[in-house]
Each structure stands twice: as structure tokens, then as C-alpha cells.
């Protein structure tokens, strides 16, 4: 019998998709009010294989859990700052063995797991919100990912103003950094889209453009696939299939 089997079954705080600091604050608010639970302890290696998956969200705070840092027993790239999140990525399969690594878009199609982390403060205590997703996982489980946070909203749960005020964010709380992440990972350059300002929003998006921090950006095909999938989730269209 393994050490982990002697302990309470380890469960994420929530399954879903966090695409903004506002989403992370909503999950933390639910924990503070007792609707959701912080994870009580660190993971064990044999638990990580089944628990760390696309859609898993974990909230912990060091003071009660005794965790000084989060260890998921995965190997990650060097961290990248994406909006107010710290992000890492790894591959389900060893992409480094592919001699032709010129197709950067294949990272998402082949199941690249992304980890996002944000630290939020409440009354002097730091709470860490860690979430995981893959493009494939978001598409396959989009209804579940969409519904998880929507259920919190439908209960009338809102983020208290004091929680928002205690954060030191770089971006507005509803800034969605994932498009920026895809662009950065694929080495894309932001293109000026001033001529498209006169186009309708629908035409604007159909032609592959998105607004990022108030700037129109032309997405490459590889980034557009991710953007379209996540845009449908943000709009509540959970059964989206490309």
C-alpha cells in the first residue's frame, strides 16, 4: 500500500478554466466563504500522475498547509510572465525528439500542458491559485470548464471589493492573458491593425484579429485555434468543436 493511499484522496479545489485574475479571485472568494476548499497538503508523487491534468485548479496557503511551495512532480520550461500569471509549459510527449521542431503550433495540438500560477493576498495571508490546461483538454471538456465557474456566478457569489483592493495587479482583473501567451510561445510579432477599426466586430474576429490590451493583433493560424476555442468558452458556448 502506498503512502498516498493511506491518506485522504487528493482532490483539486475545482475543475475548470481560469483565464483572468478575476476568475482566480472568484475561486479564492469561494474558498474564503467555504463553498470550495483549499488543498490541505502537498501532493505525493504517485498522486500527481492522476491529479495533475487539464482543468485541475488548486488553491493553497502556506500558513495552514505548511507548504512553502507547490510541487507537482512535473518537468517544466522556464517560467514566463503572462499578464498577472506566471506560466510554464511541458509536453505530454517528448517534443524534443522530433527532428523537425519548426511547427511551433504543434505544441498545442500535441497536448502541451500549461501551468498558470497567481498569488493573491487576503488580510496579510498569501493564497496561491494554480491551474492547468491544454488546448485539447479545453476543447474536449469545454462544457465542464465553462460550467464550473459559471455555477459559482449563478449562486450570486461575487468577489468582495476588499479582496480586489488588496491585490497589486499589473492588469485589469478581467484581462485574459492566454492569447498573449500563444503569440509569445510561437514567436509572433504584434501587427498594427488600424485599417480594420472600421470593420464590424464579427468580420474583425473572422479575419483572425483579436484585441489584446487595447491593441488589435493579427493571430497566426496556430494561435487562432487556441483563441477560438477559449473565446467560445468565455462566451458560454461549451460544446464548441473546431
Q: What is the dihedral of CA 105, 106, 112, 114, to 10 degrees?
A: 0
- CA–chain centroid gap for 210, Å, is 18
Average pLDDT (174-202) is 52
Amino acid 201: pLDDT:
45
The percent of residues in the chain predicted with pLDDT above 90, rounded, is 31
The answer to which of 23-32, 50-59, 112-121, 190-199 has the lowest mean pLDDT is 190-199
Tell me what the pLDDT averaged over the chain comes to: 72
| Residue 63 vs residues 94, 116, 184: alpha-carbon distances, Å | 37, 21, 35
Amino acid 191: pLDDT:
47
C-alpha–C-alpha distance, residues 111 and 91, integer Å: 6
Per DSSP, the three-state class of 85 is: strand
Q: Which three cell numbers stand for residue 193?
A: 491593425
C-alpha–C-alpha distance, residues 25 and 174, integer Å: 10
Check whether 148 has a pLDDT greater than 60.
yes
Range list of β-strands (E), the chain:
14-15, 56-61, 80-82, 85-91, 112-122, 125-133, 209-212, 215-218
Per the confidence metrics, is the pTM higher than 0.95?
A: no
Query: CB under 8 Å to 49, separation ≥6 — which residues?
Result: none
More confident residue, 204 or 193: 204
b (16+ CB within 10 A) / e for 34-46: eebebbeebbbee
Instruction: Identify the helix (H) or strand (E) that includes residue 239.
Output: none
Amino acid 198: pLDDT:
39
C-alpha–C-alpha distance, residues 2 and 133, integer Å: 28
- Give the pLDDT band of residue 164 (cuts 50, 70, 90): very high
For 128-141, the pLDDT digits (tens) are 999 998 866 655 55
Q: Which three cell numbers stand for residue 215?
A: 491593441
Amino acid 102: pLDDT:
38
More confident residue, 88 or 99: 88
Q: Please, what is the Cα angle at 211 between 208 and 217, to 5 degrees?
A: 55
For 94-138, the pLDDT digits (tens) are 333 343 333 444 444 456 888 999 999 999 999 999 999 886 665
C-alpha–C-alpha distance, residues 124 and 212, integer Å: 32
> Which sign does the torsion angle of CA 136, 139, 144, 150 carry?
positive
Amino acid at each position: 500500500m502506498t503512502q498516498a493511499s493511506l491518506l485522504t484522496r487528493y482532490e483539486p479545489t475545482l475543475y475548470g478554466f481560469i483565464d483572468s485574475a478575476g476568475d482566480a479571485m472568484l475561486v479564492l472568494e469561494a474558498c474564503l466563504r467555504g463553498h470550495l476548499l483549499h488543498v490541505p497538503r502537498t501532493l505525493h508523487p504517485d498522486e500527481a500522475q492522476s491529479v495533475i491534468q487539464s482543468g485541475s485548479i488548486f488553491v493553497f496557503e502556506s500558513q495552514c498547509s505548511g507548504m512553502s511551495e507547490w510541487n507537482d512532480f512535473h518537468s517544466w520550461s522556464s517560467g514566463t510572465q503572462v499578464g498577472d500569471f506566471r506560466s510554464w509549459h511541458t509536453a505530454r510527449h517528448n517534443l524534443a525528439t522530433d527532428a523537425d521542431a519548426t511547427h511551433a503550433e504543434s505544441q498545442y495540438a500535441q497536448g502541451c500542458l500549461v501551468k498558470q500560477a497567481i498569488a493573491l493576498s487576503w488580510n496579510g495571508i498569501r493564497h496561491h491559485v494554480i491551474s492547468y490546461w491544454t488546448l485539447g483538454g479545453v476543447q474536449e471538456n469545454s462544457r465542464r470548464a465553462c460550467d464550473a465557474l459559471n455555477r459559482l456566478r449563478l449562486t450570486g457569489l461575487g468577489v468582495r471589493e476588499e479582496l480586489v483592493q488588496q491585490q497589486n495587479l499589473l492588469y485589469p482583473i478581467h484581462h485574459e492573458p492566454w492569447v498573449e501567451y500563444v503569440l509569445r510561445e510561437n514567436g509572433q510579432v504584434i501587427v498594427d491593425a488600424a485599417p480594420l477599426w472600421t470593420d464590424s466586430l464579427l468580420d474583425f474576429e473572422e479575419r483572425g484579429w483579436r484585441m489584446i490590451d487595447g491593441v488589435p493583433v493579427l493571430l497566426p493560424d496556430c494561435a487562432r485555434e487556441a483563441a477560438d476555442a477559449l473565446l467560445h468558452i468565455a462566451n458560454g458556448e461549451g460544446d464548441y468543436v473546431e
